[in-house]
Structure 1
């Protein structure tokens, strides 16, 4: 029975389990769209021998061109490629001593790829509440006028009338659509990261670059360096990553909050 089943799924305050691809070998099925573990019940109920998707929603939302661009952006960040946007992240501050692997968080990837949409003119949270309480004389007069208009339009107890609600509906609709768009962008980044963790990212490189990546994490001797210099033929391979929460490697299916990603040690598949 997998961790994705309801009775064994970690609770809200429970510790995130270690990676199932390490603890349970290669017998754990992962969804090819969202990168989460496919429940044992789903695999047993399926009529096909190999289950590729955890739900009909994931089957109908297979990775497309945008998802591939996000994956390439993650690869560029982890490899510290020029113009990848690595300077916008705090990767150097998160680097572990003696480990040259780059660590980037989900929010940093989202900001690099989709851009920062924060409006400095708007206030949120407690600042917004304090701004609402600090009403001046003009604000008090405007509030009294609005309440009077509500009563004229049929409002009771200061509620907005039908005309005001109709006028406000367009603004609320735009806010809701903007929120849905941001949520989808957030999930697209996390889905791409989980796919890179369990299936690996496609990287076009020469043998030399691939062995150099190994050299960052495992070290190499002079003989392997000479072998690298002798062969520079371009090849396509897959590098796998791992999910980090508070410095610990965890199962990506249950990673919570602004978790991070880095290359897995010995990541070439």
Structure 2
């Protein structure tokens, strides 16, 4: 078994249950049933998840967001060499892994930002600017595999669920304690630092690990993922403290990738997709 990502769901659950304890009996029962009934588990890492949104709702939201992205940015034509390149990489990742039977759609966007995304339902977008840091097919595969892992793990739906619960809990707790607007704001800030941000960092670490396995099974050298983050680190950043960031630092990401690299290399060496 690879090292598990931190089970920060436990912290979130304790936070929510603490909020429930301040509510009336009727509200307590409703919230407790909602929380316990929405528990799920990531099929790869085994991490507990809390998701209030159905898979069908997630797919619908993903399709709507993807349509909006295509309206706001120029989509490169299918004949464009970059489109062909990123589609071939993504399709190889999909074929090599046991991924959901989504209606996958992959497009390249004319955007200089070094970024990519994958939405619920298998809608993938890859910016042209990604090539400035992901300089090989394997490094692009690392990014796309990471983004696909977000979609497969339903991280977007999980984040929305967490935010809904935190907002509801803050309102209920503020009313129960009789705090004013300033007190409610402090409660919300504490919830963000204690629940929302750690969860997001957990999502990123989880997607890093899963994406590493995805690229390895597809015959892309997983060691290229480390080089990718070294490229990112070389570009520099604003230096936001990690505890206030939704993403782990490049150094911590590299350390985590190195810790699961033996399993990834084993998958890579066994892959029938290696050229």
Tell me the TM-score range normalised by the shorter chain: under 0.3
Q: Which has the higher helix share?
A: 2
Normalized per residue, which structure has more strand? 1
Point out the structure with max Rg over C-alpha. 1
TM normalised by structure 2 equals 0.28
